[in-house]
Each structure stands twice: as C-alpha cells, then as structure tokens.
Chain A
Amino acid sequence: MSKATADWKRVGDRFYRSIRLYTDVFAPDLELENYIVVGAPYSGAVALYRDESKIFAPRGSQAVGTKATIDLYSCAGRLIRQIPRDRGALAAVGWSEDERLLVVGQDGEVRSYADLGTDFTPFSLGHEAEEYGVKSCRFWGTGFVALLGNNRFVAVTRYDEPRPQALASAPPGEVISWAVVPPEYTSSRSVEVLLAVGRTVHVVDAAESEDRGLQAGPFRHIAVSPNGKFIALYTDDGKVWVISSDFQERFSEYDSRVKTPPKDLQWCGNNAVVLAWEDEIHLVGPSGSATSFEYDGFVHLVPDVDGIRVMTNDVCDFWQKVPDACEEVWRLGSSSPASVLVDAVEMLEKKSAKADENIQLIRGNLDEAVNVCVRAAGQEYSVHRQKQLLKAASFGKSVLELYNSDDYVDMTEVLRVLNAVRFYEIGVPVSYDQYIRLTPERLVQRLVNRQEYLLALKISEFLRLPVDKIYVAWARQKVRSSSTDEESICEEIVRKLNGQRGISFEEVAHAAYEDGRGSMAIQLLEHEPRAGKQVPLLLSLGEEGGALDKAIDSGDTDLIFWVLLNLKKKMPLSTFFRTINSRPVASAIVEASAIEQDQEVLKDLYYQDDRRVDGSNLLLSEALSASDTNGSADKLKMAAKLLRDSKDHAPQVAALEDAQKLLKFQEAFERDLQGESFVGLSVNETMGKLVRLGHGKRGMKVKEEFKVGEKGWAWVRLRALVGRREWRELEELSKGRKSAIGWEPYFNEILGAGNPKVAALFIPKCTNLAVNERIEMWLKCGLVKNAAEEALKAKDREKLEELRGKASGQGVVEVERMINLLGRGR
C-alpha cells in the first residue's frame, strides 16, 4: 500500500495533493485538444463539444454527415447522454449547480436542459443579443452572464423564470478576458463582471461601470476564487497576480517564466491557482511558490469548490490542498495526537506494547485525536486509509470513558455513500466537502438523473430520505422507454408506486402525455391524490369537463377561474355555457368576473339560461351608465319589454315604466324651469324640489302621476315647505282638518326650523296626545300661559304650580290666577 503522502506536493509551506480518481477516461482516439470541456460543479457531469475554432479532419467514427453533438460524460468517462446540436454556432455551454446544462447559441437563444435529459426549455437573451450576437458566457451556480458583440453584458440570475437583464454598458475596446463574481459574494448583492480592457480592469454591475485603475495589463486571464474573495490575473509578461476582489490588496505574484501564455487559468480551491498549457500545469500557491506537473496528453481543467479536476484522455485527477485533518495525521514527522493515535493502532496490530505507551502519551488530547481521525477519514479517497483512520478513531474512543459517537457514526454512513457513488460505473467522485454542500438529497437527484434508480433508492433508504421522487422518476422513465402495451405498463407502475407516501402521479402522467400516450395519462392521473394537480394536464388532454370538476373539487378559485378562462378560449360560447351550467360554482365565478369586465357575455349567458330578471337588470344597469336620458330611456324600455310577458314581474315592469316616465317629467321640468336640474332625482326628491321652488302644483301632479301615498306626500311637502321657510303656506295648512301624518310632525319640523310662533299653531290640533305632552309643546314654544291653560283644562294643580316657577313677569300673575281659579273650582 502506497503511503498517504505519496501524491503530496510541497508548495511553499503548504501541501497539495493530486488524487487519481479514474484512469482510462476517454477513448484514446478522442482528440481532446479539439474539444471544449466543461464540468458541472460538485463533481457533476462533464460536457464535451467540438471547439469550432479548430480545424479538424473528420475520421473514424466521426464520419461526415453525422450531426454534431454535445456529449455528457461522467467524470469517469462513461457516456451519459448525447445532445444533438441542430442549431447555429455555439457561444458557450455551462452548468448550474443543480446540474442543469445551458447551451447558449451565438444568436442569443439559450436552451436549458434539466436533469441531464434531452428535453429542454428555450429562452432568448433579448433583441440586443440577436442583433449583435453572443461572444462568450461565464456561469456561476445559479446564473450566467453573456458578453455580446457590442461589449454589452446580459445577466440571467435564475433559471426557473429566466429574465435577461442588461448590465451597465461597458467601456469600448477589445475584451481581453473577463470573469464574474456571483451575486452572493458582492456587496451590492447583484452579479458583477470583471473585465480586462486595455491595461486595466473594469467592474461592471447592474447600475454602473467602474475603472479599477490597474496599470499592469493587458491581462490575458482573469479568474475569481470560489469564495469570491480573490482574483487571479495573468499578465502579458507571464506573471500571475493574486489580489483581493475589492482591488485593495495584492497578495502574491508569481513569474511563470514561460513565453507562451497558458491556455487556461483556474482556481484550485480558494488558495491556489492552476495554469494549464497543452500538457503541463503549474500550481501556484500562496506567496508565489509553485510546482509544475506534466501529463501524457492534452489537459483540461475542471474547477470545483474545493479543488480542481484535471482531465486527459487517460486520467482524471483531483488536485486540492491537503485537508488540515489529513495533514495532521499523515505529515512526515507529525507528532500530533491524531498521528500518534494512528501509530498506536498500527502497534496494536503488531501486538506491540508501544501501543499503550502511545495512548498514555496523548491521553489528555485523546478526544481531539479521535475527532481528527474521523475528519481525516472523510477526506480520504482510499478505502484502505478510511478504514485505517476509522479503526484508529474507534480504538481511541474505546479508551475514552465519555465520547459522543454521533460524528463517528455519521461519518461511517457518509463514507459508505461516498464510496458507492465514486465507483467508476457511477462516476461521481464527490469529495466530503462537496457532499456537504451538495446535500444528500441533491446527490440522490443526481443519481436519478443518471438513471441509477436502485442506488438512489438504496442510499435514500440508508439515509432515511424520502423516496417518492425516485419512484416518480423511475415511472416517468418507464413510461417513456417501454414499448409494451399501455395496460401492463400502467399496472406495473401503479403496483410499484401505490402505498408509497407522497407519490406525485401527476408527474408520471405528464410524462405519458408528453410521450403522446393520452389514455395512459388519464389512467395514471386517476391515482393522483391532489385534485388541483390533475387539472392542467386534464386540460391539455382535452378533458375539459374533468378538468373543471377537479378544479372545483380542489376549492381553489384561482384554479377554477383559470380553467374557465382556458375553456372560454377553446370552446364556442354556447358549449361553454352548457359546460358551466350544471356547475353552480363555475357559473358564479363566470358571472362575477363578467359583471366586472364583459357584460356582453353576461347578456348571452342570461339569454341562454332564460334568466329574464337578470337580463332586465343588466339593461337597467346599462341605462344608468348611458350618457344621456334618451339612451337611458331606450334601455329602460328594453328592460321592461324583457319582463312584460310574465305576470310575476308586473311590479318590476311598473317600476321600469315609472322610471321612464319620471325621466320624461324631469326633462320637461328642466325645460320649464330654466337652470334647475331634475334628472337623477327620485320621485320624492322631485316633488320636494318642486315644492321648494314654489311649484307646489307641479309637485302635486307628480304625486298624482306616480300614485305617491298621502303620508309620503305630506312628509315631503312639509319638509320642503319648512326648508323654504314658507310660513304662510304652513299657516294655511294649520287650518286644514285632517293630516295623513297627524299634526305633531308639523309642530316638530317647524319648531326645529326655529319658528315657535307658527309651530304653536299646530299644538291645539294634536288632540291625540296626552295633556302633559301638549304642555311640554307649549313650553318648548315659550308660551307658559298657554301651557297653564292646558293644565287648567286638565285640572292639574300640581302642574300649574310647577309652571308658576317657570313663568316670569306678567306670566306669574296669570298662572297665579289660574291656580286660584282651580282652587275655587274645587
């Protein structure tokens, strides 16, 4: 067994290691130098496509006429998928962190391939991109920036709903190199572009472009570290600079002393930069120290968050800084507790007594040593060394009295998973750090993308993760690829998926639908427990009634309305009405929305359903909105006509006719009484206004014409007269013999208007009231004498005496007299 440090390289005071992940990666006749290689983050798939700038002779398998493809490989070189290229020239190909492949054409059209499939969703980068063409792109985890032919940048920050956004315009001049800082690492929280133009670097974001004022350019390469804190620049004179991303500090400088500029410059983790020439790489560590390494073939760099993969036809290596835990354990001459612990276990295997000695030596730091061993095990790729470290850890913790084994147990679980996916047939050489960042769920998703359903299932069960998505993905695949009869596929799927929690049959059905197997889709959809989810698919399957029913089932009014809007577009109106007719909720929603925006539809609906009153009311509503009285009258006529046939609606017909009549009257009044407006008033208001204007006769006529009740008329007239201060006429009224509303209102209204004299005229007429009330009324008019007379009439001595107190001047005498009168009378 080779030593752990065999593949270590010393760079300055740090150690870097290259781990040979896979050998025999690509077919030997694949001319890698003619290809562009881009890898998905977290050890994801690798996309290979022809570099069109290079001339090549078609030969062998690459026969003339075969279509160009983008080939997706695993890191171990297993071909996963071939994506046909049927469009114009490519500008760039890139990945997102959820392994979505983005293919950007020079015409600005982007195709986004999710889940390593061949189905894509296209979107465009906008007019400018179409016009000037896309030159190149830079990708980060959740978005990308495209450089257009006119030196403008367009950014896309999300793929679920891509919205290309133009950044501030960049300075003119040839762009020598450029890079992006992902939004999560910038202070503005929006993506920034670093762009080398002339001798300097500009920073461009959504709002502005700023010259950073460097002098040492032109910079052939520019790269941003994975954590966004550092920038590496390659100058024309062969130097590598590392500076902070705010351009404030310069950390190191390295002179490659090579005349030809490297073909690529990338970060290896956050602390080293890798330069690549044809078959040679330089690894530049902090403080400018470096090491170089030569490969047998043409190299491609695939950077990742914690290191960099180097791929040639033959091998796939992973370069990274030796993790601290590993360094602590394995470094030559290390006397760290962990290293001693590992030694001790070796001794133990040799049955040497030194084992115990060693343990005693590190007794005090034993728990620390165990922790380091566990951590180091996670960083190892060799199963042998993983075991060695875990054994040490296990031994160490058996010595400790108290130790929380959670980390240890977790690590053993993780390592099982890591080793399983690193296996060359799977080809996902994910490191421990990458795994933590990727999360187990997304790792499982990647396995599903590779159609490794069984492994995905096993891992999910092992890690107690939900498995529904795996089953669904399997079923989708099954639906697509099986050629056996639909009945049996469906049966098999249902048998396998039933009883699993949270299965989305809708997704499976969708796959069937996309595959053109409509009836199977419907059949599968039956099993979907969420009514709402079934709706869109049923709609696309042409099951309109079913879709509407399911939408109503779900209770989600948005969904119901959405289906209805779709149906209305699809169907003839009469069919549409028939569809909603039997579903009250649906018709209610159609009606409610139509009232707000589309009254014509409403008319048709009412007509079709023979809802005459509603139809008539609609016309009435139009009459109200009409611009002139003629229009109103016409609509009112129509509204009345609609109802005339039926006896039940006689009162409403009468009202509608009265409304027309009133309008006519009011117009006539407006003509006769210049300057006064009547239209819009009610019958009572019209009468009131006429009386108030002194046209009592006309008011009376309205009363007769509209058969207004006596009481109503009396009130209206009273209020109008009082409002007009028409005391004379009111006095006249007091001579009347009968009143429909009694006389008290007259008293109250007139008194309220501030005329006690006239009000008092009505008191004697209120014969239906009690004496005391009448006395009150007199008092309210300030007529104590009359009040007293009233009391005298009622022979109420007490009241009289009470009144005496209220009287003044002559009044007192009068009241006194009356008391005496009463006294005598007794």
Chain B
Amino acid sequence: MAAHPAVKAINTQEITEKARRGLLQLLEAVRGKKNLVIERSLAGTIGLFVKFSTLQEYGVDKIFFLENHNVDSSQRNIIFLCRGESAKTARMVAEQIKLVRSESQIDHEFSIIWVPRRTRVSDMVLEEHGTLGEATISQLQLHFIPLEQDVLSLELDTAVHDLYLRKDPTCIFASAQALMRLQKQYGLFPRILGKGDNAKKLADLLQKMRSEEEVNAAADSNNSYLTSFGLTPSSVIENLIIIDRDVDFPTVLSTQLTYEGLIDENYGITNNQTEVESSILGGAPAQPQSQNGTTQAPATATKRKLQLDTSDKLYPSLRDANFATIGPTLNRTARRLQSDQQNIHNQDQSIADLKSFVSKLPSYQAEQASLKIHTSLAEELMKVTRSELFNQMLEVQQNLLAGSDPSATHENIEELIARDVPFKTVLRLLCLESCLSNGIRSRDLENFKRQILQAYGFQHVLTLANLEKMGLLVPRESHRGYLNPIGSAAGQTATDWNALRKGLKLWVDDVQEDDPNDVAYVFSGFAPLSVRLVQCILQKSQLYNLVNQPRQPSSAPTGTGWKGFEDVVARIRGATVDVTQKGHDADASHARKTLRGSKEGPKISLVFFLGGVTFAEIAALRLVSAQMEEKEGRKIVIMTTGLVNGGRAVGTAVEKREFGQ
C-alpha cells in the first residue's frame, strides 16, 4: 500500500526514541552497576523500545520482577521501575526497600523511577514506610508506546478492570495526560468527537487541562512562547474520535475471526508477542530470538516466544485477513517461493544473476522461515476452528449478533455449560446476549446462574456479581429505556440494537471475506459498532449507501462531526461528545498553517479507544483507513489504553480462587 505523499503521520519512531532516551538517561544518572527491579506489567512495555543488551550497556546487571519479592543485594545500586499511580505498587516498593535495607550488609543506594509520573500517593506511602528519604526519585514520562506505525497504546492492562469493574477513572486521567502531550506537540485537535459517558469525561478533562495548560504555560518562563504556539489547532490532525468501550462491548465479547485476532484469542498477544508451544512450530529453525531482555523469567521450556509485528516478512499481509482466507494465501506464498527456488536451480546463470540472487538470499530465507511458522500456526488454529465446540459456540454468537431471538440459543448455551467448555467461553456468550438485548430475562438468567455455579463452582457467585457490576450480565428491567428509545440523548442508558442493526447495518449477510470491501469481514458478518461509529464521521457517504442500499442512492449526508447520523447515534447508550477547539490566537494558528506549508486541511484522524481495542477492530479500521487514503489521502491512527479481547474482558471479573485452596 503506497503511502499517500500528503499524509504525514504521527512520528512513531520519535516517540519510541524519546522513551528510550529518557529511560537510558535515568539509568545513566545512577553511577556504576545496578540491579533493576521492574513491575511485571511494565517489563513487556519497556521491551518494546529497549533491548536487554542495551540495558546492560548502561550498567544493568540483573533484572528482577517487583512481584517476585526476590531482590538480592548483589549490587549497591538498586533501581525500581514501576507505575506510580497505584498505591499497591508503591507499597511493594517501600516494603522491598525496607527488606533489603534490613537484610543486606551493604549500604545500598536506592532509586525509584515512577512511570509515567511521580504521584503524591506514592510519596505518602513511601513516607509512611519511612523510605521517602532513602531513595532518589525520578519519573519517566512514558505514555503512548507505538505497537505499530498506526497503533499507539498506553499498555495499561488493568484499564477494563479499573474502569468498568471498579469505576476507578485513573486511566481516563492517564489518557488525558497522554493526549495532552500529543496536543502540545501536534497542536490542538480541532474537533473532539466521541460516544460514551467515559468519552465525555475524557473530553471534558482535555478541555479543562487545556485551560489549565494556558495558565501553566504562561507561568513557565522557559518556553511560554513556544507552548502557546503549541496550543493552536493542529494542521496535521483533523479530529479525535473517542470510543468508550462501554458503548460497544459486544464487539469485544465476540470471537475475532481475523488471523491476528484468532492468535490473540487462543494464545494471547501481549506487547506484540505471543507464546506458543514450541512443538507447534517444531520444524522451524531456532531463530535468534529477539531477546527482549526484560523477560528473564525462565519460560517453561516448551513455550516459545514469537514476535508478531512488521519485522516478520509475511505477518503484515496475513494479520488482518479473515482466517478463512489464510490457507489460500499461505499456499500462494509457498508456490511463489518454490518457483523462485526452481528458477535458481534450473537456469544456467550468469555471475550477475547469481549475485542478485545471493543478495536476496537473506530476505528469501527469512520469508521461508516465516512461511513455515505461520503455516504451522494456521494449521494449529484450524484444529480449533474445526472443532465441534468452536462451531457450536460460533453459531450461538452469530445468531445473537444477527439479531435472532436469543431464547432460541439458550439450549445450545446450556449444552456448552454441561459439556464443561472453558468458563470464559460461556460467560462471553451470556454477556453477549445480555449486552445485545439489554439484559437477560430474570428467570432465564437465574437458571443460567444456577447451572454455572453447579458446573464451575460456587465461588463464581463473585464472578457473576462482578459481571453485573460491569453491566455485562444483568437481568432485563422493564424501565431501562429500551422500550422507549425516545429518551433524552444524554440520559440514554440502553442501546437499541435492533434500530442500530438497521440504521448502521451492523449485520452484513453477503460478506466478502476475500478482498473485503466492508469492515464486517472481521467477524464474518458482524460489523463492529465502534468502527461503524468511526465511519459515521469519516465515511459518511459510503456508510449511507450501505445502509440505504435498496433505495436509490439519494443525497448522502455531508458535513462534519456526527451530522447525518445523529438519530442513530442518539439510540446508543452514553453521552455523545462533539467539541470544537479553536486557538486563542488566530495569528499563531495561521502561522502554524503556513509553516507546515500544507494548503489542504489536516489529514489524520485519531481514534482513541478508552478501555481497550481488539485486533479485529484494528483490522477493520485499517481497512477504513486504506479506503480513505485511496480516495482522499486521509488516514487513521488508532490509539488505545491497551489491547483487549473477550477472554481478557470477562477474565477481569472471574474469581480465581477455589474453596479449600
């Protein structure tokens, strides 16, 4: 896909580089060899931009996980690298400092690097433990980390848990800070759109931060001029679209059917890495593993880490495809490689031919290795997708998504429970039904609950209570506004899915999985609501034609923002956000435009998923982005608090303890 020349994306390289430099500088500030104690969840994130060998060059001797409580006293310098927002983490750090101090003979030098900021609470906790004076404290402003050129993530893996189960808005604030930094660099987002109550909170917070930033900028004598210049509307970014996960849980709960999505569903992808049994990849040559250092914990010998990003030869072309089309694609590639090989063997070659071949050899070999890996992986996944249980589950899911009567699926779900399929699978189906029909009939729900408790254990009373708190599995109530969709827009607490299926064409019957033309391909029929919402703003005419297919293509809505789709959007739960940001200083805005030298308007739309995004949605948005780029040279950059899938989402609710353990 040729990059459109006019599109200058967010410079992800720069973000990575900045994070890297920041960390290394902090490490360098501590003289001599040091041991690094790192929070487990942060380790993978750090691994995305710094290699272990680099850390070693900067004097890091050993790495420990904070959670393991096993820091030793082999080095005088001990550095903690942890997230500062959580009191729990701060307490762990304080306890370990105390422990090391009391047990070790040496006079240790402690440093703490808080990510992304030093907090009052962490100070308070350290003070209570009497360790505040013991450590040199600094902060590493690590916000967005690029997972790919077009995906920026905060990698907050507790976002769903905090936001929807605990109602703790910490990650909204973290998102606001991260977005604010982006605004400082690229200019104000000229328009902020969004859907969902948390999206509204985030947008409000951005507004507030902006006004406070103006006060701060004026007070900051160093670069007052530059920062006020920064707070003019951006000439690169056209708008920010915030999607609150709460608006669209069904997409998360559904089984992703893209290649990458299925890998995530079955093996899990974290920090662009997945772990599979090495027996699956058996034949593959032992590649020099990109040792992303921070993973010191000895992975069980049978597991192997697999890097899944653009460094792989084939993966970029496979990741977003519907799994049904993976087989043929792999076949084609295999044939191509084979013919290449034959070419070499068969012909009498001149030296020049040979030379050009040799120069291609490494890439050829890499491709071959990658082909081997993905073929084995696809075969393994195929075993799953062909299993009877998977298909039974999928049938239930597709029926629910397509809008058929949910009670018809109950028997199937009951059978799945009786057959003891993985707990999360059952929960996902039930939650999906509950979300799509705004609750399950009380009697049915009680029935399901009984069966679940009997099949999976009574400790899951807690699981079910958690799911209810998250609003994922609730009894249907008559007064939830479902029957009376003409409520006030902000007060809408339930989504009218039937209206949406029509109004946004959430279900596409004749979906093209090969060479897709609509985002519905990622779920083989279901178009994710979140992506449809983005299309409401960015692909108005296309969506309009799709929805109104049978009729004559009448005048498609024009304009910006939600225009043309207000009615449908109002039927979705949660607040609707639409804010226009203008600069105070018209001259500065103008100057900015001139400096950028672009006569056309800004070209990039940021889509921010508050609460996480799935790989399927990323794939769908990439399709939208590609279509837009081809047509009008515009692009989408996806941002999120982290990656999520159905298993992980319901997993936050699942009680993990058992009786008598």
Give me the interface of A with B, judged by CB distance under 8 Å. 161, 163, 165-166, 188-190, 206-207, 441, 465-466, 468-469, 501-504, 529-532, 554-559, 561-562, 565, 584-585, 588-589, 591-593, 595-597, 613-614, 617, 620-621, 623-625, 628-629, 632, 651-652, 655-656, 658-659, 662-663, 679-685, 706, 708-709, 711-712, 714-716, 719, 741, 748
Instruction: Tell me the smallest distance from the CB of B380 to a CB of chain A, in Å.
Output: 19
How far, in angstroms, from A468 to B461 measured CA to CA in the complex?
Answer: 58
Task: Check B87 for interface membership: any CB of A closer than 8 A.
Answer: yes
A502 in contact with B218 (CB, 8 Å): yes
State which of A531, A593, A595, A684 has its C-beta within 8 Å of the C-beta of B420.
A684
Contact of A502 with B219 at beta-carbon distance under 8 Å, contacts A561-B87, A680-B658 already known: yes
Task: Check B451 for interface membership: any CB of A closer than 8 A.
Answer: yes
Which residue on B lies nearest to A590, using beta carbons? B168
CB-CB under 8 A from A684, the residues of chain B are 418, 420, 454-456
Complex A-B: 13 CB contacts under 8 Å: A163-B136, A441-B221, A466-B221, A504-B215, A558-B121, A561-B87, A562-B120, A620-B462, A651-B449, A679-B659, A682-B457, A712-B418, A715-B415
Task: Check B31 for interface membership: any CB of A closer than 8 A.
Answer: yes
Task: Check B15 for interface membership: any CB of A closer than 8 A.
Answer: no
Which residue on B lies nearest to A682, using beta carbons? B457
Task: Check B426 for interface membership: any CB of A closer than 8 A.
Answer: no
Contact of A624 with B659 at beta-carbon distance under 8 Å, contacts A161-B137, A706-B454, A709-B451 already known: yes
A562 in contact with B124 (CB, 8 Å): yes
Which residue on A lies nearest to B120, using beta carbons? A562
Q: For chain B, which range describes its interface: under 10, 10 to 19, 20 to 34, or 35 or more residues?
A: 35 or more
State which of A207, A589, A620 has its C-beta within 8 Å of the C-beta of B31.
A207
Task: Check B459 for interface membership: any CB of A closer than 8 A.
Answer: yes
Contact of A585 with B169 at beta-carbon distance under 8 Å, contacts A625-B657, A658-B458, A712-B417 already known: yes
B462 in contact with A189 (CB, 8 Å): no
Task: Check B502 for interface membership: any CB of A closer than 8 A.
Answer: no
- 4 tightest Cβ-Cβ pairs between the two chains A and B: A502-B218, A659-B458, A679-B660, A715-B418
Instruction: Tell me the smallest distance from the CB of A584 to a CB of chain B, in Å.
Output: 7
Instruction: Tell me the smallest distance from the CB of A629 to a CB of chain B, in Å.
Output: 6
Which residue on B lies nearest to A596, using beta carbons? B88
How far, in angstroms, from A373 to B414 measured CA to CA in the complex?
Answer: 94
A682 in contact with B454 (CB, 8 Å): yes
A680 in contact with B661 (CB, 8 Å): yes
How far, in angstroms, from A501 to B84 measured CA to CA in the complex?
Answer: 32
State which of B205, B214, B417, B461 has its C-beta within 8 Å of the C-beta of A620.
B461
CB-CB under 8 A from B660, the residues of chain A are 628-629, 632, 663, 679-680
Instruction: Tell me the smallest distance from the CB of A183 to a CB of chain B, in Å.
Output: 10
Interface string of B118-136 (1 = CB under 8 A from A): 0111001000000001001
Residue from A468, A624, A709 whose CB has the most chain B CB atoms within 10 Å = A624
Give me the interface of B with A, judged by CB distance under 8 Å. 31-32, 84-85, 87-88, 91, 107, 109, 117, 119-121, 124, 133, 136-137, 162, 166-170, 172-173, 176, 201, 204-205, 208, 211-212, 214-219, 221, 224, 388, 414-415, 417-420, 446, 449-451, 453-459, 461-462, 465, 655, 657-661
How far, in angstroms, from A623 to B462 measured CA to CA in the complex?
Answer: 12
Residue from B120, B137, B224, B417 whose CB has the most chain A CB atoms within 10 Å = B120
How far, in angstroms, from A597 to B94 measured CA to CA in the complex?
Answer: 15
B133 in contact with A163 (CB, 8 Å): yes
CB-CB under 8 A from B87, the residues of chain A are 561, 593, 596-597
How far, in angstroms, from A233 to B211 measured CA to CA in the complex?
Answer: 57
Other 20 A-B pairs with CB < 8 A, given A529-B212, A596-B87, A682-B456 = A466-B221, A501-B214, A501-B218, A502-B219, A504-B219, A558-B84, A559-B120, A588-B166, A595-B166, A617-B465, A621-B657, A624-B657, A624-B661, A628-B660, A663-B659, A682-B454, A682-B457, A684-B418, A714-B418, A748-B388
Instruction: Tell me the smallest distance from the CB of A358 to a CB of chain B, in Å.
Output: 43
CB-CB under 8 A from B133, the residues of chain A are 163
A529 in contact with B211 (CB, 8 Å): yes
A683 in contact with B659 (CB, 8 Å): no
B211 in contact with A555 (CB, 8 Å): no
CB-CB under 8 A from A659, the residues of chain B are 458, 461, 659
Instruction: Tell me the smallest distance from the CB of B387 to a CB of chain A, in Å.
Output: 11
CB-CB under 8 A from B453, the residues of chain A are 655, 658, 682-683
B418 in contact with A555 (CB, 8 Å): no
CB-CB under 8 A from B419, the residues of chain A are 715, 719
Instruction: Tell me the smallest distance from the CB of A208 to a CB of chain B, in Å.
Output: 11
Instruction: Tell me the smallest distance from the CB of A619 to a CB of chain B, in Å.
Output: 11
CB-CB under 8 A from B84, the residues of chain A are 558
Which residue on B lies nearest to A565, using beta carbons? B124
Instruction: Tell me the smallest distance from the CB of A462 to a CB of chain B, in Å.
Output: 15
B167 in contact with A588 (CB, 8 Å): yes
Contact of A652 with B461 at beta-carbon distance under 8 Å, contacts A469-B221, A584-B167, A597-B91 already known: yes
CB-CB under 8 A from B461, the residues of chain A are 617, 620, 652, 655-656, 659
B458 in contact with A655 (CB, 8 Å): yes
A466 in contact with B219 (CB, 8 Å): yes
State which of A503, A556, A614, A683 has its C-beta within 8 Å of the C-beta of B173.
A556
B32 in contact with A207 (CB, 8 Å): yes
Instruction: Tell me the smallest distance from the CB of B655 to a CB of chain A, in Å.
Output: 7
A465 in contact with B88 (CB, 8 Å): no
Instruction: Tell me the smallest distance from the CB of A303 to a CB of chain B, in Å.
Output: 28
How far, in angstroms, from A366 to B458 measured CA to CA in the complex?
Answer: 95
Instruction: Tell me the smallest distance from the CB of A775 to a CB of chain B, in Å.
Output: 19
Which residue on B lies nearest to A708, using beta carbons? B454
CB-CB under 8 A from B117, the residues of chain A are 558
Which residue on A lies nearest to B656, using beta carbons? A624
Instruction: Tell me the smallest distance from the CB of B2 to a CB of chain A, in Å.
Output: 42
CB-CB under 8 A from A719, the residues of chain B are 419-420
Instruction: Tell me the smallest distance from the CB of A532 to a CB of chain B, in Å.
Output: 8
CB-CB under 8 A from A681, the residues of chain B are 457
CB-CB under 8 A from B415, the residues of chain A are 711, 715, 741
CB-CB under 8 A from A613, the residues of chain B are 465
A589 in contact with B168 (CB, 8 Å): yes
How far, in angstroms, from A682 to B168 measured CA to CA in the complex?
Answer: 32
CB-CB under 8 A from A589, the residues of chain B are 168
Instruction: Tell me the smallest distance from the CB of A768 to a CB of chain B, in Å.
Output: 14
Contact of A621 with B454 at beta-carbon distance under 8 Å, contacts A597-B88, A712-B418, A748-B388 already known: no
A624 in contact with B418 (CB, 8 Å): no
State which of B120, B137, B176 has its C-beta within 8 Å of the C-beta of A558.
B120
Residue from A531, A561, A629 whose CB has the most chain B CB atoms within 10 Å = A561
A557 in contact with B454 (CB, 8 Å): no
How far, in angstroms, from A741 to B419 measured CA to CA in the complex?
Answer: 11
Instruction: Tell me the smallest distance from the CB of B481 to a CB of chain A, in Å.
Output: 20
How far, in angstroms, from A584 to B168 measured CA to CA in the complex?
Answer: 10
How far, in angstroms, from A597 to B86 measured CA to CA in the complex?
Answer: 12
Instruction: Tell me the smallest distance from the CB of B200 to a CB of chain A, in Å.
Output: 12
CB-CB under 8 A from A468, the residues of chain B are 218-219
Contact of A624 with B459 at beta-carbon distance under 8 Å, contacts A188-B31, A680-B659, A706-B454 already known: yes
CB-CB under 8 A from B462, the residues of chain A are 617, 620-621, 624
Which residue on B lies nearest to A663, using beta carbons? B659
A592 in contact with B166 (CB, 8 Å): yes
How far, in angstroms, from A585 to B169 measured CA to CA in the complex?
Answer: 8
A558 in contact with B418 (CB, 8 Å): no
